Amino acid sequence: MVICAYNRETTIAGTIDLILTQTCSFPYEILIGEDGGTDRTRAICLDYQNRYPQRIKLILQEQNVGLGANWASLVQAAKGRYVACCDDDDFWHLPEKLQTQVHYLETHAECGVVHTDYDILHLPSGRLEKSVLKNLSKPVPQGFIQQDVFHGRAKICVSTACIRKELIDRHLRLDDYIRLRFSIQDWPTWMILSRFAQINLLPISTTTYRKGHAAITNQQSYEGIEKKFFLEQQMYEYICRLFPQELVYDEGKYRLFVNNNLLALAYKKGDYAAARRFAAVMSKSGLGSLRIRCCSHPLLFSAYRL
């Protein structure tokens, strides 16, 4: 299994500890990629490697390469039949997680990726939201779901995923993840693999996802969101070039998608001036949702936020 680690000195030990407690009928290795952080994460990981040299292998990046490239380096070094993932700030709360997922893949040859439900630990309040996917209004798509992934309809928490290594070796160009310095690993991976194998969900909660602290997927500034989606745009283009018959790259729609995320943050912050600016861009493109229309007046904006 693989852990991408970057500036997580307060959570990385807990992540590793709970992986070490997995109850499995088979051996497994833990590959940790420390991505050139500035805190004590590397020292903590080195300590674990010294304590568990037969179980833990540490791959050190001399400079920060990004989440996607770091993940690709780890997967290239993996020797097992399956690759499980866990982010450095999440943790597996079900001791039988690996055993359950490997058994599923062993008995379902049509499936290439199996993921599970998960809980969310909201920070800093400490509120625990259990079985997030079970409580969605629509069922999570399963099977050959490339279009669902492309349009954001597939909810897959990377820390719950377990993947066939042979599927990765056959269809992922991991050197491209590294060369292009992909900023994330999950979306491009699901996009590619869902074209060739089924992605299925086990309806059990195995993992706790921490939400509310600094992360590339949890930007709290307009500049952060702009930077995040600028980096992801090259992955969007890359995926569309791989599958020109199935997917169409549309830069205009991508920009509207980014503006929609910026508008959502403006509502969250209660920033009417910014919301009006982002809504104006979307209105010029012919969009007119209630959320956009409510940016026309401060009172409507405030009412929509309630």
DSSP E strand stretches across 98-194: 111-122, 127-129, 162-164
> 91 pLDDT exceeds 90?
yes
pLDDT given at position 26 = 96
pLDDT (tens digit per residue) in 268-297: 999 999 999 999 999 999 999 999 999 999
- Average pLDDT, rounded, for the chain: 95
Stretch 58-84: mean pLDDT:
96
Among candidate residues 31, 29, 85, 82, the one with its CA nearest the CA of residue 61: 31
With 0-12 / 13-18 / 19 or more C-beta atoms within 10 angstroms meaning exposed / middle / buried, residue 287 is: middle
Report residue 266's pLDDT band, with 50, 70 and 90 as the boundaries: very high
pLDDT given at position 215 = 56
> 162 pLDDT exceeds 90?
yes
pLDDT given at position 232 = 87
> 34 pLDDT exceeds 80?
yes
pLDDT given at position 306 = 84
pLDDT given at position 213 = 67
In terms of phi and psi (left: phi > 0; alpha: psi -120 to 50; beta: otherwise), the region of 126 is left
pTM recorded for the entire structure: 0.88
CA atoms within 13 A on the CB side of 179: 5
Q: Distance between CA 265 and CA 267 in Å, rounded? A: 5
> 152 pLDDT exceeds 90?
no
Neighbouring C-beta atoms of residue 138, cutoff 10 Å: 7
pLDDT given at position 220 = 77
pLDDT given at position 158 = 97
Q: Distance between CA 260 and CA 8 in Å, rounded? A: 30
pLDDT (tens digit per residue) in 187-224: 999 999 999 999 999 999 999 999 986 555 556 799 99
Cα pseudo-dihedral 77, 83, 84, 89, rounded to 10: 30
With 0-12 / 13-18 / 19 or more C-beta atoms within 10 angstroms meaning exposed / middle / buried, residue 127 is: exposed
Stretch 145-162: mean pLDDT:
95
